[in-house]
Amino acid sequence: MALDIQLERQQAHTLLDQLPPAKLGAVRSLLEVMVDDDDDEELTEEDRRALRASEEYFRNGGQGIPFAKVIAELGFTMEQIRAGSKGD
């Protein structure tokens, strides 16, 4: 199935329009990261420390956050996510 970019944009705008202001900032930040094409950025020492801490956390049995919980906190349902990904 071919990707209909206009339909994808329209659906994304519709979902953005439904977000409460408090959640809109999080989505904007995510979009900024996604469109940033500066993949050559060097890791800082702070980045390296955070990565080591994360690896240690998971090595010691730490648990991640379920995807469904993240989606719910953003104000979406899994059904909305599944419906939005059918064009992929």
Cα separation of the two ends of the chain: 8
Place 88 in a pLDDT band, splitting at 50, 70 and 90: very low
pTM of structure: 0.39
* CA–CA dist 12, 20 (Å, integer): 15
**The predicted structure's pLDDT at residue 20:** 87
Task: From residue 29, give the alpha-carbon distance in Å to each of 20, 54, 57, 75.
Answer: 15, 21, 25, 16
**The predicted structure's pLDDT at residue 37:** 66
**The predicted structure's pLDDT at residue 85:** 62
Task: Say how many C-beta atoms besides its own lie within 10 A of residue 71's C-beta.
Answer: 15
Average of pLDDT values for 29-38? Answer: 79
Average of pLDDT values for 43-71? Answer: 90
Average of pLDDT values for 58-75? Answer: 89
